[in-house]
Structures are given as structure tokens and as C-alpha cells.
Amino acid sequence: DESVKAAWSEVVNQYQRRADLIPNLVNTVKGYAAQEQKVLIGVTEARARASSIQVTPEVLNNPQLFQKYQAAQGDLTQALKSLMVVVENYPQLKSDQNFRDLQSQLEGTENRITVARNRYIQAVQAYNVTVRSFPVNLTAKMFGFQVKPSFTVANEQQIATAPTVSFDASPAGAPPAPAAAAAPPGQTATK
């Protein structure tokens, strides 16, 4: 239980670090892309929703609250992705040193979130296996230890279906493949 709580604290700390970076990032983008208000507001609102959920150790014992927190963080991730797509349209912004520093910090934080989530998932898996195993499950039940929730994939159904790939037709606007060089009579073509 303690390793799960410690791993969870690391996840929360990384999410908070990301939330702390967002106001500076939004303000920097705003200076270059004021007409992108919809995206900027979306990021700000997603951050507010994610930050408004009170995160205590009890979140680990409340699957509904855990899911709500996870969904809010997922919404913030999507809003940040939209912001980064907008940034692609502003070369001056991409060359701004302050923006590049913030973007680098955000990328590092996203990587730390991934590592923290993986550690949490491993800690929960070990804990849940222990709590469900005989004879520990009897003691766990007696003292009220419950299975802890783990992270889920938001688009699990979408990624469970493999994309259809067709090699029959060339993509629109693609040049035809070069023809193989003809070999002189009596020899085979080589690449």
C-alpha cells in the first residue's frame, strides 16, 4: 500500500509540474498567436478542470474519482496537443527562446509523467496481486485493503482495431515508382 501511495504521489507531482508550466506557455503563445483564442482558452480551461480535482490518497480508494482525475488529465493532454499543432503555424514563435525553453520543459515533464505512471502501474499491479492472493486476501479483507485502480487507455477501443493498410493504390499525388533498370541481354538486373 505504501509503495502504491509513493508511486501515486510521483504521478501527481509530475502532473502538477505540467500544470505549473502551462500559464507561461499560454502567455508566450498569446504574444504571437492572439487570434488563436479558442485553443488558448481550451488549454486554460482544461488546466483549470484538471487542477480543480482535489487529489488525496483517498483518490486511490475511489475508482470514480480516480477515473474523473484521469479523464481531466487526458483532456489537458489533448488541449496541449492542439496548442502544439497551432504553434506549427507560427515560425517566429517556434524560434522564440523562451518558448523553446518552455516546450523543452514540457516535453521533459511529459516524459516524467510517463515514467511516473509506469511506476504507479507496476506498484498497483504488485499490490493487487498480493491483495488477491491466498492467504493474504483473507487478511486484506479483514483489514479493509482493497484492490487499487490503475490507469486505463482513453482510446482503448480505437487502438485495439488495427488500421487497414492497402498497397493496391498509390497515394494521391505520389509519383509513380521508378521502373527497374533493364539488364543487358544474358544478365540479370541488380539493385
DSSP 165-180: ---SSPPTTPPPPPPP
Of the candidates 80, 55, 57, 85, the one whose C-alpha atom is nearest the C-alpha of residue 70 is 55
Q: Compute how many other C-beta atoms are within 10 angstroms of the C-beta atom of residue 120.
A: 24
Decide: 65 and 39 in contact? Cβ < 8 Å. no
Range from 3-7, 59-63, 120-124 that averages highest in pLDDT: 120-124
Higher pLDDT residue, 118 or 55? 118
Range from 59-63, 99-103, 147-151, 170-174 that averages highest in pLDDT: 99-103
Q: Compute how many other C-beta atoms are within 10 angstroms of the C-beta atom of residue 57.
A: 12
Does residue 75 have a pLDDT over 80? yes
Q: Sorting pLDDT into bands at 50, 70 and 90, what band is 166? A: very low
pLDDT in tens, 8-53: 888 888 999 999 998 988 888 888 877 788 888 899 999 999 988 8
pLDDT in tens, 89-142: 888 888 888 888 988 999 999 999 999 988 988 888 888 888 888 887 888 788
pTM, entire model: 0.67
Q: Compute how many other C-beta atoms are within 10 angstroms of the C-beta atom of residue 56.
A: 10
Mean pLDDT value of segment 174-183: 47
Higher pLDDT residue, 132 or 169? 132
Which fold is adopted by the domain 2-160? de novo design (two linked rop proteins) (1.20.1440)
Does residue 173 have a pLDDT over 50? no
Give the per-residue pLDDT at 186.
53
Count of helices and strands (H, E) across the chain: 7, 0
Give the per-residue pLDDT at 160.
46
Give the per-residue pLDDT at 174.
45
Q: Sorting pLDDT into bands at 50, 70 and 90, what band is 80? A: very high
Domain locations in the chain as residue ranges: 2-160
Q: Compute how many other C-beta atoms are within 10 angstroms of the C-beta atom of residue 161.
A: 7
Does residue 176 have a pLDDT over 70? no
The dihedrals phi and psi of 67, each to the nearest 5 degrees, come to: -65, -40
Of the candidates 99, 81, 110, the one whose C-alpha atom is nearest the C-alpha of residue 33 is 99
Spatial separation of the C-alpha atoms in residues 181 and 189, rounded to whole Å: 7
Decide: 131 and 146 in contact? Cβ < 8 Å. yes
Residue length, the chain? 191
